[in-house]
Structures are given as structure tokens and as C-alpha cells.
């Protein structure tokens, strides 16, 4: 006599709120340690998990960020500093756009600034 193993397959729903909060916490930790590379990787990770929820407002903000003009440096050191600043501004702009998207999709509670923006748009 042979035994049979039955497995139940349940479709799990993703808790995007938890993923977003965990990513935000990890970003704060890495900022405290000064680990910019990890912060940028996590921001890109957030972009990946929020991809199915992108809306026209998010895409518009990302297009504006992509069109940011890079100032030119005269020396190699100037170029490196400018690139670091540009990358920082772009990634934190993307992070802000992702947080606004997460709020609009209901994954995050509204902040005071978001409440004020909504009231002024009404």
C-alpha cells in the first residue's frame, strides 16, 4: 500500500502595502549607513513591484525627470560630482513619484502634504 501526498494550492494575494513599507524602511536604514547604491537599488525594486499600477500621472513625472538637463563639468572631478548629484536628484524624484503612486493606489496612508495638494485641486 502506497501513501499519497496531497498538497493544497492556494492563491496568495500579495500585500503590496507591506512590501512598500518594508522597502521604505530599508531605504531609511541604508541612508543612515550612507549606502547610496543600496538605496538606488531599492528604489528601482519599488519601481518594479509598482509597475502594474503605473498611471498617467506617474508616467508624466518620470518623463519630466528623464528630460532633466545634465550640466557639463570642465574637469573629471567636476563631471563625477555632477553625475552623482544628477543621479541623486533623479532617483529621489523617482522615489517621490513612486510614493505618490503608492498613495493613489491605496498602498500608503496620505501624508499632510498629500492632503493639502488634494484640497487645493478640488
Q: What are the structural domain ranges in the chain? A: 16-109
Going by pLDDT thresholds of 50, 70 and 90, the confidence category of residue 119 is low
List pLDDT tens digits, range 12-57: 455 778 888 899 999 999 999 999 999 999 999 999 989 989 999 9
Cα-based distances in Å from 43 to 3, 69, 78, 88, 116:
48, 21, 26, 11, 25
CA-CA distance, 65 to 60, in Å (whole number)? 9
In this prediction, residue 8 carries a pLDDT of 53
Amino acid at each position: 500500500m502506497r501513501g499519497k501526498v496531497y498538497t493544497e494550492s492556494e492563491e496568495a494575494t500579495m500585500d503590496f502595502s507591506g512590501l512598500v513599507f518594508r522597502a521604505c524602511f530599508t531605504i531609511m536604514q541604508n541612508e543612515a549607513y550612507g549606502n547610496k547604491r543600496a538605496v538606488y537599488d531599492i528604489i528601482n525594486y519599488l519601481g518594479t513591484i509598482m509597475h502594474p499600477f503605473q498611471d498617467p500621472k506617474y508616467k508624466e513625472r518620470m518623463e519630466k525627470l528623464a528630460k532633466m538637463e545634465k550640466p557639463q563639468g570642465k574637469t573629471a572631478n567636476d563631471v563625477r560630482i555632477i553625475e552623482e548629484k544628477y543621479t541623486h536628484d533623479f532617483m529621489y524624484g523617482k522615489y517621490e513619484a513612486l510614493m505618490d503612486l503608492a498613495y493613489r493606489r491605496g498602498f500608503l496612508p496620505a501624508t499632510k502634504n498629500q492632503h493639502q495638494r488634494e484640497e487645493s485641486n478640488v
